[in-house]
Amino acid sequence: MTTTQSVQSVLLGKSLPELTEWIEGTGQPTYRGKQLYQWLYQKGVHNLQEITVFPKAWRAEMQDYPVGRSQIHHHKTAPDGTRKYLLKLHDGLIIETVGIPTEKRLTVCVSSQVGCAMACEFCATGKMGFTRHLQAYEILDQVLTVQEDFRQRVSHVVFMGMGEPLANIEEVIKAVHSLNKDIGIGQRSLTISTVGVPDKIRALAEEHLQVTFAVSLHAPNQDLRETLIPTAKHYPIHDLLDECREYVDITRRRLSFEYILLAGVNDLPEHATELAKHLRGFQSHVNLIPYNPISEEEFKRPGKKRINVFKQILQDHKIAVSVRYSKGLEADAACGQLRTNLIKKVEVDHAQPLQKMTK
């Protein structure tokens, strides 16, 4: 159905005036624009046939018009309630989305690309290579899908799924505006996470969004960072940190640094001291993320004691720091893990085609 239509024409992602113009073009009165807008973004319809307030004949005629919704291809729930989804896009490609329920919140971890070109050593998505960028509507769809499945409003969105958001900055910014305006999630409840793409942090700052911004640093010096993040070779850590300082100057907002802790690699006391030197006086917050093992890699998660020592050194240097454990480890919650593991399982078990592995 949707593959035969131009991607540009899907309805999700369009603003109220754009939807109104579109619906007028189908011969419907202006007020139907607002109805369509509500049914798309609030009720989350998957096709126009579902919009029962519209004339029957029109719905029948329009039933195959592409709304822009994906299909849940597979999902898995961890004991802590975290749900991980594989969503099938209009062209058959598969992306990951995670729904994380905590007390009053429902956070969605969205993908911004199919695969990723950054190839970070510790990241499952990095092993897949890059296939394509997601369009803004494909990011919105992920949020609506989780909202529908949990029957609960999504309160927060983090761009920490597959892909590098700043490599797809235009669509990510479009998605941020629509998540805010059309789906109704406050900008401060949205987090964009990047490993750093030259000049893009400045470009993001110049958008003057109210979003939370996180930079995946993962190492306190250039040599070590390059061994973990291949693209860092073209983006020296001092340039990255300078651009981060500019971000703070332009937006007047603090940013977060993410730092994966890999046992024996970047978690030694001297690494913490070196990191503290870089970040002294910087309006920032450090999130330490104990490594989530992925089967391809030899890295190990450090023990609690090592993690606490690292944290204490940063605190002694007056640096705001917290430790963030990934939720839903059982649902293969690290970046790209469900897709990687599922595909592997299918390769081993040829008798069970991927399509049949639903819910």
- Cβ 115 to ligand SAH shortest distance, Å: 11
Measured from the CB atom, the residue of 182 and 258 that comes closer to ligand SAH is 258
Q: Find the binding residues for ligand SAH in span 251-280 (CB under 6 A).
A: 258, 260
Amino acid at site 43: K
Rg (CA), the chain: 21
The region of 58-66, 168-176, 231-239, 284-292 touching ligand SAH under the rule CB under 6 A is 284-292
Q: How far apart are CA 174 and CA 181, in angstroms?
A: 11
Residue 247 binds ligand SAH, judged by CB under 6 A: no
Using the CB atoms, write b or e for 185-222: b if 16+ within 10 Å: beeebbbbbbbbbeebbeebbeeebebbbbbbbbbbee
Residue 228 binds ligand SAH, judged by CB under 6 A: no
Using the CB atoms, write b or e for 25-61: b if 16+ within 10 Å: eeebeeebbebbbebbbeebbbebbebeebeeebbee
**Residue selected from 37, 130, 291, 310 as contacting ligand SAH according to rule CB under 6 A:** 291
Measured from the CB atom, the residue of 193 and 212 that comes closer to ligand SAH is 193
- Judged by DSSP in three states, 223 sits in helix
Q: How far apart are CA 95 and CA 186, in angstroms?
A: 25
The region of 37-45, 49-57, 128-136, 187-195 touching ligand SAH under the rule CB under 6 A is 187-195
**Residue selected from 2, 28, 256, 326 as contacting ligand SAH according to rule CB under 6 A:** 326
Residue 193 binds ligand SAH, judged by CB under 6 A: yes
- Cβ 205 to ligand SAH shortest distance, Å: 17
Burial of 92 (0-12, 13-18, 19+ CB in 10 A): exposed
- Cβ 326 to ligand SAH shortest distance, Å: 6
Q: How far apart are CA 251 and CA 55, in angstroms?
A: 48
- C-alpha neighbours within 13 Å on the C-beta side of residue 191: 18
Residue sitting closest to ligand SAH (CB): 292
Give the tokens for residue 80: 């802590």
**Residue selected from 294, 307, 319, 321 as contacting ligand SAH according to rule CB under 6 A:** 294
Question: What's the sign of the alpha-carbon dihedral 258, 262, 265, 266?
Answer: positive
Active site residue 244: no
Using the CB atoms, write b or e for 141-172: b if 16+ within 10 Å: bbbbbbbbeeeeebbbbbbbbbbbbbbbbebb
Q: Find the binding residues for ligand SAH in span 92-121 (CB under 6 A).
A: 118
- Judged by DSSP in three states, 255 sits in strand
The region of 142-150, 288-296, 312-320, 346-354 touching ligand SAH under the rule CB under 6 A is 288-296
- Judged by DSSP in three states, 303 sits in coil
Residue 217 binds ligand SAH, judged by CB under 6 A: no
Task: List CB contacts of 97: < 8 A, sequence separation 6 or more.
Answer: 84, 85, 87, 108, 109, 110, 111, 142, 145, 146, 161
- Cβ 320 to ligand SAH shortest distance, Å: 17
Residue 243 binds ligand SAH, judged by CB under 6 A: no
Active site residue 270: no
Residue 191 binds ligand SAH, judged by CB under 6 A: no
Contact code string over 122-161 relative to ligand SAH, x by CB under 6 A: xx------------------------------------x-
The region of 26-34, 41-49, 88-96, 290-298 touching ligand SAH under the rule CB under 6 A is 290-298
Q: Which of 18, 297, 335, 347 is catalytic?
A: 335
Q: Which of 24, 61, 96, 138 is catalytic?
A: 96
Contact (Cβ atoms closer than 8 angstroms) between residue 232 and residue 196: yes
The region of 69-77, 140-148, 272-280, 286-294 touching ligand SAH under the rule CB under 6 A is 286-294
Binding site for ligand SAH (CB under 6 A): 118, 122-123, 160, 164, 193-195, 216, 258, 260, 289, 291-292, 294, 326, 334-335
Catalogue the active-site residues: 96, 335
